[in-house]
Amino acid sequence: MAKLKLSFGCWNYDRTRALMDGTVQPDGIDLNYLNMPVEETFFRMLRNQEFDVAEMSLSSYSVSLFKEDQPFIAIPVFPSRFFRHSCIFVNADAGIKEPKDLIGKRIGVPEYQMTAPVWIRGILSDHYNVPVDSVTYYSGGEETPGRDEKLKLSLPANIKVEPIGPTKTLSQMLLDGEIDALHTARMPSSFLHGKGKVQRLFPNFMEVERDYYRKTKIFPIMHTLVIRRKLYEENRWIAQSLFKAFEQAQKIAYEDLRETAALKTMMPWLLADMENVIREMGEDYWPYGLERNQETLQTFLRYHHEQGLSKRLLKPEELFAPETFEAFKI
């Protein structure tokens, strides 16, 4: 029987590499892995549905569920997770010494609906009393002019989002003091080359993020995997087949990180880092599946709703193909 040929847009991650090199093959599927940066994958999938399966911003996917013709359905695989306290950058002259100093300031965001800023705004609101509507957001390209929101948004009147000029970039605006801070996923070039004029809000971000995890047990989810809904409805078996394969690929990545015969990554103290992470977060510190991510997903969906991006509060189980809720056991 011929395998179902599927195109897959995703970046090159250790946890998915076994699918890219063919070490792991999903049951019944011939997967054409297209290795692309996340921004390109998201743009092409959201605008044109170019791939059968794709890595997808958790926020963009959640927004898409409110379209009349829902284009995608997800499986609970999370290729990107990230503590985002390190991704709040401030102009050194803006007088921002602690989170509450952000109130009333001008905050840059590449896109308001981006997953990273959703988490940042939610964390600042929940843990530092910085209301989401207490600042003005300026959206646009971080390093290249002309970036727009990939999805049309309809936000409440209390949320203020303004586009930056067509020739402006957020990185340069932060350096020049035209905005006071930046919520982002990528480190801005002005932080690296701005001679100290751009700084992190949390210089000790590792300590802050570790404390956040200890308090909440949340390792924020950034991306999930989506299938074109029409394809899924015609071949519902592919959801479980893909989920199994991604779990197998992740298992290989876990094993590679624990290898001691030779380092498989260029990190001298990788073993010590791994042991520290396992002590702090457990053996399966990057969990897939709905059940093991309920609290993290509930928190994100609450933030999404509070920030005007969801018309109603979604439940985690509404995001994913039901075939992935239970695993077969012998």
Q: Which tens digits make up the pLDDT trace of 215-229?
A: 999 999 999 999 999
Say what the pLDDT of residue 326 is: 84
Mean pLDDT of the 50-65 span:
98
In a domain, 329, yes or no: no
Both 95 and 196 in one domain: the answer is yes
Which of 216, 236, 252 is the last residue before a domain boundary? 216
pTM recorded for the entire structure: 0.96
Both 96 and 211 in one domain: the answer is yes
In a domain, 144, yes or no: yes
DSSP code for 283: S
In a domain, 17, yes or no: yes
Both 94 and 146 in one domain: the answer is yes
CA distances from residue 129 to 9, 27, 122 in whole angstroms, order as listed: 38, 48, 10
In a domain, 150, yes or no: yes
Mean pLDDT of the 16-42 span:
97
What's the pLDDT tens digit per position in 166-207? 999 999 999 999 999 999 999 999 999 999 999 999 999 999
Both 77 and 226 in one domain: the answer is yes
CATH code for the domain in which residue 202 is found: 3.40.190.10
Both 232 and 263 in one domain: the answer is yes
What's the pLDDT tens digit per position in 275-325? 999 999 999 999 999 999 999 999 999 999 999 999 999 999 999 999 999
Both 201 and 229 in one domain: the answer is no
- Local confidence band at 94 (pLDDT 50, 70, 90 cut-offs): very high
Cα 328 versus chain centre, distance: 29
Both 47 and 125 in one domain: the answer is no
Both 203 and 169 in one domain: the answer is yes
Query: Is the confidence at residue 329, as pLDDT, over 90?
Result: no
In a domain, 154, yes or no: yes
Query: Is the confidence at residue 330, as pLDDT, over 70?
Result: no
In a domain, 24, yes or no: yes
CA separation for the pair 316, 279 (Å, rounded)? 28
Both 67 and 103 in one domain: the answer is no
Our count of domains for the chain comes to 2
Say what the pLDDT of residue 153 is: 87
Mean pLDDT of the 9-38 span:
98
The residue range of the domain holding 47 is 4-81+221-324
Both 188 and 245 in one domain: the answer is no
Beta strand extents in the chain (DSSP E only): 4-10, 29-35, 53-57, 72-81, 88-91, 106-109, 136-139, 160-163, 181-183, 198-200, 221-228
Both 92 and 154 in one domain: the answer is yes
In a domain, 156, yes or no: yes
Which of 176, 199, 216 is the last residue before a domain boundary? 216
Query: Is the confidence at residue 327, as pLDDT, over 80?
Result: no
Query: Is the confidence at residue 124, as pLDDT, over 70?
Result: yes
Percent of the chain with pLDDT over 90: 95
Say what the pLDDT of residue 65 is: 97
Contact 120, 187 (CB under 8 A): no
Say what the pLDDT of residue 151 is: 80
Say what the pLDDT of residue 161 is: 96
In a domain, 330, yes or no: no
Mean pLDDT of the 248-271 span:
95
Both 229 and 312 in one domain: the answer is yes
CA separation for the pair 115, 58 (Å, rounded)? 6
Which of 184, 216, 248 is the last residue before a domain boundary? 216
